[in-house]
Amino acid sequence: MRKSSGGLTYIAEWKGGLLEHKMGHLTCFAGGMIALGADGAPSDKTGHQMEQAAEIARTCHESYARTSLKLGPEAFRFDGGVEAIATRQNEKYFILRPEVIETYMYMWRFTHDPKYREWGWEAVQHCRVEGGYSGIRDVYASTPNHDDVQQSFYLAETLKYLYLLFSDDDHLAFDHWVFNTEAHPLPVIKKEKQTSPTRWSRDDLIVH
């Protein structure tokens, strides 16, 4: 985890012994993951972890905000004088991935800061086409060039997280449900506390 000169927190990639100052869209799930960890952390660590989660969410939002179409690229870099921007053509596409929306959903549930709902709504404005939703080849282009592909994970994950982002907290509440990496909700099975058998004393058995 690193912080850019402009104050953006990002998670770089370690490759072959070298640190590459690039963060992938896939990594943006980490904001939600850290927030979940903070929810069960010791009280002296909760504030720091929630701050980290919020910073990751902000960085991923910036990767969206700094494009022409307000959709995030597949990967974005922090080198060569740029921050949270894709510099290679093969990183400028958007294929309806869920990770950023996932983090917004968790951050909304834990903080109820309205910006996360606003950011989530922004992210779905340019992908609608006549027959559904489509990826975009270059998010820095002035007009969208759709790739004519609706990924299956868009329905399974992205829309599910968007739905939960705008739902009440008791709809699939975190106390009762956990989501795996593909957004499948699994019920939390809690063991009932076993009560120890009642111990009777001699006096308890005396009938008055």
Tokens of 114: 């309205």
Q: Are 103 and 32 in contact (CB under 8 A)?
A: yes
9 is in an annotated binding site: no
**CA–CA gap between residue 105 and residue 119 (Å, rounded):** 10
Give how far Cα 183 sits from Cα of 98, 99, 199, Å: 9, 10, 47
CA 170 to chain centre: 19
- Identify residue 9 by its one-letter amino acid code: T
Distance from chain centroid for Cα 49: 14
* Residues annotated as part of the active site: 74
Please report, in range form, the residues annotated as the binding site for Ca(2+). Answer: 181
- The annotated binding site is made up of 181
